Chains A and B, each alone.
Chain A
Amino acid sequence: MLEFSILFPSILNGLTTGAVYALVALGLTLIYGVLHIINFAHGAALMVALYAVYFLHEQAGVNPYAALPLAVPAMFAFGYCLQRFVIGRASHGKDENILLVTLGISIILENLALYLWKSDTRTIDAPYMLQTVDIAGAMISLPKLLAFGGALAAAALLLAVMAKTDLGRAIRACAKERQGARLVGIDVEHVFAMSFGIGLACLGAAACFLLPAFYVNPNVGNSFVLIAFTVVVLGGMGSFAGALLGGLLIGVVESVGGLWLGESLGQIGIFVIFIAVLLFRPQGLFGART
């Protein structure tokens, strides 16, 4: 069962699946690292992004990959407004209220999608979707390989933004010391909204890479949320490199775990890791010890 001819493609497959987890987690880790909120609406936002990419393809014939320059800014704007005008205002900064607000948002988004677009599962069918690439005997799905590349690019981009730009510096400042940042004149609310916006923009990218290999319906976000949280914790809350590596690692664990223990029980590997990381190394692979 664990011979190389099965193990190897399984690992590669895990890496590509993990890349999508990483893309989803990149946004979540930024939102947690900066705003310290556990965004319950992340799954629903992914679903919205997936629908956006789907309709761009169906109505305007835009290839999902070509939709990147459209989906990413659109999700950014959505995220900015959500944080600035809804979450920030409603929650008054209290943790339990933020929880309820993001929960409320996810309920609204899911049911709005249900009402507008019904519960049918939507998929896009295009020739490249069933194509595979032969890597040393393993047939890896082309869309997933592209997702792998996309995740690497996204992580690199985010790291660059955080390190090199003024915005990145402001974000890091707000994350570390909110009051201090305010005192030196940084518009903290604006920075928070920007961070949330970037977080959701990552979901826009994730959606572009995910849709060709998957599908969308109003409930699709739920299946990614828990895994995204695991990746964020494993990688270290607030660390992009951590989210990338964590995602890849979780993808591989899920894949190999599924091979070894069966698809159903194999999922347990993810959460056992989750618990182990939380207990023994809560800062994750790359997080700073707080």
Chain B
Amino acid sequence: MRELAGICVFCALAALTPLFVTSGSLQNLVIMTLYATLLGQAWNILAGFGGQFSFGHAVFFGSGAYAMAVLQVKFGWNAWAALAAALAAGSAVGAFIGALSFRYGLKGSYFALVTLAFAEVFRILANTFLFTGAGVGMMVPLNESAAALQFADRSGYLYLILAMVTAGFLISWWLKHSRFGAWLQALRDNEDSAAALGVDVFRVKLIAIMISGALMAAGGAFYVQYFHYIDPHIAYGPAVSIEALLAPIVGGMGTLWGPLLGAAVLHALGELTRSVTGDAPGVNLMVYGVVLILMVTFLPRGILGGVVTLFGGRGAKKGGDRA
């Protein structure tokens, strides 16, 4: 219950940021942090709660992004309808990949690699067909009205991403406290035992990947509306897949607040290194890499894991410890 209250407080505060954050670039930072949170939440559902690591989460992102772009540009759909379709697309792709992978019992690194392969396959397909604009990508025309899910005032985008992140929080909360979530976490901790206890492992994993896919697709749809442009490299390339897994691992996998914390810290780190290291190319990213390694070294269970250890472990957290 406290967590639900926490979510409400967070959402209220975030929704009020336009009042006390007037700097355009800070607003952008907040939006991008929330965007990274959303991607992280999606990944967290499957990997943190479900134990199924994915290296190719971009496959869902790109499907949502392209659904959004293609439906609006090529078929003249309304943006809101396209958004719904984008979520459905992410879910459908999740169902497809999940059905194949889980049916054939792919686990651990094998599952991770197969998601990577699927992302590449989709990238090549998107790159080939004129339907998705091929290598040229697609541009969504400027049309700043709420009906077209574009906003002249940046706070419109803030509310949009906040709504998506809130959905992510509620889903994560539900996973923490529901029976379904218990099944999911059980099979994460020990799949065989869970199966022995009667959990329908296949079905649970499948639903989890569909939810994860839909949420990730929402991120893709947001990207298209905010940046007005998508191409196969952005949509299905490794950058998005990596961004999705960085925040939850750094923040704390399988937790409610991990993705948000991780996203905030990583973005702050990015800004800090950029402003401190001047304009020699690459130096800021080097520092970023070093800090990343240091964070992993000293906070092996993510930031939240570290906080828990520091303040006395209230409820042992199970990460993905593999011998």
Q: Which residues of A contact B (CB under 8 A)?
A: 32, 36, 38, 86, 89-97, 99-101, 103-108, 110-112, 114-115, 119, 178-179, 218, 226, 229-230, 233, 262, 264-265, 267-268, 271-272, 274-275, 278-280, 282
Contact = CB atoms under 8 A, between A and B. Distances in A.
A282 B114 CA distance: 10
Contacts of B53: 95-96, 99
A97 B300 contact: yes
Nearest to B124: A268
Contacts of A278: 101, 104, 106, 110, 113-114, 117
B37 interface: no
A36 B135 CA distance: 36
Interface of A, helix, strand, loop or mixed by DSSP = helix
Q: Which of B249, B289, B319 has the most CB of A within 10 A?
A: B289
B114 A279 contact: yes
B289 A38 contact: no
Top 4 A-B residue pairs of the complex, sorted by shortest distance between their CB atoms: A111-B282, A107-B289, A108-B289, A114-B282
Given A111-B282, A278-B106, A105 B118 contact: no
A95 B110 CA distance: 13
A264 B128 contact: yes
5 contacts: A90-B293, A96-B319, A114-B282, A178-B323, A267-B124
A274 B124 contact: no
Contacts of A280: 104
Given A38-B109, A114-B282, A108 B290 contact: yes
Contacts of B282: 110-112, 114-115, 218
Nearest to A100: B296
B24 interface: no
A92 B108 CA distance: 18
B116 interface: yes
B278 to A, nearest CB: 12
B249 A271 contact: no
A101 B296 CA distance: 7
Given A107-B289, A111-B285, 19 more contacts: A86-B293, A91-B296, A94-B322, A96-B319, A96-B320, A100-B246, A100-B293, A101-B293, A104-B290, A105-B293, A108-B293, A110-B282, A111-B289, A115-B281, A178-B323, A229-B113, A229-B116, A271-B117, A278-B104
B174 to A, nearest CB: 23
A100 B320 contact: no
Contacts of A93: 321-323
A272 B121 CA distance: 7
A90 B110 contact: no
B320 A274 contact: no
Nearest to A96: B249
Nearest to A89: B297
Nearest to A270: B120
A38 B53 CA distance: 12
A119 B285 CA distance: 15
B125 interface: yes
B249 A100 contact: yes
B285 A226 contact: no
Contacts of B109: 32, 36, 38
B3 to A, nearest CB: 23
Nearest to B301: A94
A50 B119 CA distance: 28
Q: Which of A99, A179, A230, A262 has the most CB of B within 10 A?
A: A99
A278 B55 CA distance: 14
Contacts of A275: 100, 114, 117-118, 121
